Amino acid sequence: MDHVSRTLRAADMSRYASAFASRVTAKARLPLDFSVASLRIVDRVVDGLRQGTADPVAAAPVLRELGAYLGEVIVRQACARWVDFDEATSELFRQPVGVRMPDGRAWNPLGKVVNRFELGPEESAHTFFLLLPGRVRRPPLPRRTADGRHPAAA
């Protein structure tokens, strides 16, 4: 685990992921909108990095940002929360932070993206989200009327 990884804190991860998504969306015009479907873009970007460089050290900063983005999608879409790992869990996952699901299970989105880079397509961020045990779906937003109001207020 490098120095930058050790400085990541759960309290900063939402802001870190949002800054990355805003920068990439504006610069590369990739629609990173924190949707589950946008995780397919994460997979494609990691695959492009894999083809461009075999050096995980050179790719580490981008992989860290993509992992933060994956984690933030889990936070927003599955009612999870960012957590700082204790020393044993951090050593096991080789990351200082992760997400905890409503059922208490902890997951390692930063490591998942590294696995995609090192092992290939079978380590999909999109599939990882879809198969996550313990996720709770956010309730859908109420439909709006043609004038933009919620039906109960109409």
- What single-letter DSSP state applies at residue 98? E
- What single-letter DSSP state applies at residue 103? T
Roughly what angle, to the nearest 10 degrees, separates helices 39-52 and 109-119?
Answer: 40
CB atoms within 10 A of CB 25: 14
CA distance 134 to 85: 18
Take residue 124 and report the two structure tokens written for it. Answer: 């999909």
Dihedral angle computed from the Cα positions of residues 64, 68, 69 and 72, in that order, rounded to the nearest 10 degrees: 170
Q: Is the pTM of this model over 0.75?
A: yes
Q: What is the pLDDT along the chain (154 residues), one digit of tens a residue?
A: 444 455 789 999 999 999 999 999 988 888 899 999 999 999 999 999 999 877 888 899 999 999 999 999 999 999 999 999 999 999 999 999 999 999 999 999 999 999 999 999 999 999 999 999 866 666 555 555 555 555 554 4
